[in-house]
């Protein structure tokens, strides 16, 4: 069931309206994510075969969004290497969901590289639903007031706001962009829990959203 949302997109997904419908706001449900990630299906989310080593030496899935889909991430540099690495993986996570919808390919989206547990379950079914509807978005999504709270060497929380006022719903069957009126619901507050896996990737395992949050309003 769809919750009312300005866009049919995730942010970090990155829109969590459908994501939360699928996975709720609960914590790590490893059995759910394992079932999806290990399913014998062409739609199974996995790292792209065209992964390449990044500056940190990690072989990461390639992420490339279409020219009419742009994510703008503010507050990228904190001066703390650990926090900067967490924010960088947060950006990549959000973009993998957008990439899946834009190209209709979850297998090479990279979602399972950056999401795990209930968060992976949510983005998987979120993307799958939008792909079935042939729906994505076009325009610019702005992510701001990005904050990292580090708990230890392998766990942290990332909070941020999303501004959807300059993005609109795109019908992939017709390439028509349907303009959506800006409202308080165009601004969303996200609270994510992340942990560093054995490969050094900061994966999102839990995500909560507050659409229309006052703290994110202009």
Question: Is 9 within the bounds of a domain?
Answer: no
Question: Is 185 within the bounds of a domain?
Answer: yes
pLDDT score for 7: 52
Mean pLDDT over all residues of the chain? 81
Question: Is 4 within the bounds of a domain?
Answer: no
Question: Is 183 within the bounds of a domain?
Answer: yes
pLDDT in tens, 106-133: 988 999 999 999 999 988 988 998 999 9
**Position 180 confidence tier, pLDDT thresholds 50, 70, 90:** confident
Number of domain units in the chain: 1
Question: Is 59 within the bounds of a domain?
Answer: no
On the 0-12 / 13-18 / 19+ scale of CB atoms within 10 A, 81 is: exposed
pLDDT in tens, 83-95: 999 999 999 999 9
Question: Is 155 within the bounds of a domain?
Answer: yes
Question: Is 178 within the bounds of a domain?
Answer: yes
The residue segments making up the domain with residue 27 are: 16-39+65-213
pTM: 0.80
- In this structure, the strands spanning 135-150 and 187-196 are unpaired
**Position 210 confidence tier, pLDDT thresholds 50, 70, 90:** very high
The region of weakest confidence among 27-36, 65-74, 171-180, 198-207 is 27-36
**Distances from the Cα of 174 to the Cαs of 135, 148, 169, in angstroms?**
10, 40, 12
pLDDT surpassing 70 at residue 191? yes
Which CATH number is 164's domain given? 3.10.450.50
Backbone phi, then psi, for 189, in 5-degree steps? Answer: -105, 130
Question: Is 127 within the bounds of a domain?
Answer: yes
């Amino acid at each position: 069931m769809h919750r009312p949302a300005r866009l049919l997109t995730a942010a970090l997904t990155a829109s969590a309206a459908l994501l939360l419908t699928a996975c709720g706001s609960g914590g790590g449900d490893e059995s759910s994510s394992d079932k999806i990630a290990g399913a014998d299906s062409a739609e199974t989310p996995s790292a792209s075969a065209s992964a390449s080593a990044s500056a940190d030496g990690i072989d990461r899935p390639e992420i490339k969004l279409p020219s009419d889909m742009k994510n703008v991430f503010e507050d990228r540099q904190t001066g703390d290497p650990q926090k900067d690495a967490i924010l960088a993986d947060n950006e990549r996570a959000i973009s993998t969901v957008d990439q899946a919808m834009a190209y209709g390919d979850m297998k090479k989206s990279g979602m399972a590289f950056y999401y795990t547990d209930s968060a992976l379950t949510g983005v998987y079914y979120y993307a799958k639903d939008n792909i079935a509807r042939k729906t994505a978005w076009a325009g610019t999504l702005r992510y701001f007031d990005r904050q990292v709270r580090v708990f230890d060497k392998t766990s942290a929380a990332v909070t941020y706001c999303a501004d959807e006022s300059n993005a609109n719903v795109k019908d992939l069957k017709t390439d028509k962009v349907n303009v959506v009126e800006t409202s308080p619901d165009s601004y969303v507050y996200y609270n994510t829990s992340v942990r560093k896996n054995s490969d050094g990737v900061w994966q999102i395992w839990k995500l909560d959203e507050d659409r229309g949050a006052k703290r994110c309003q202009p």
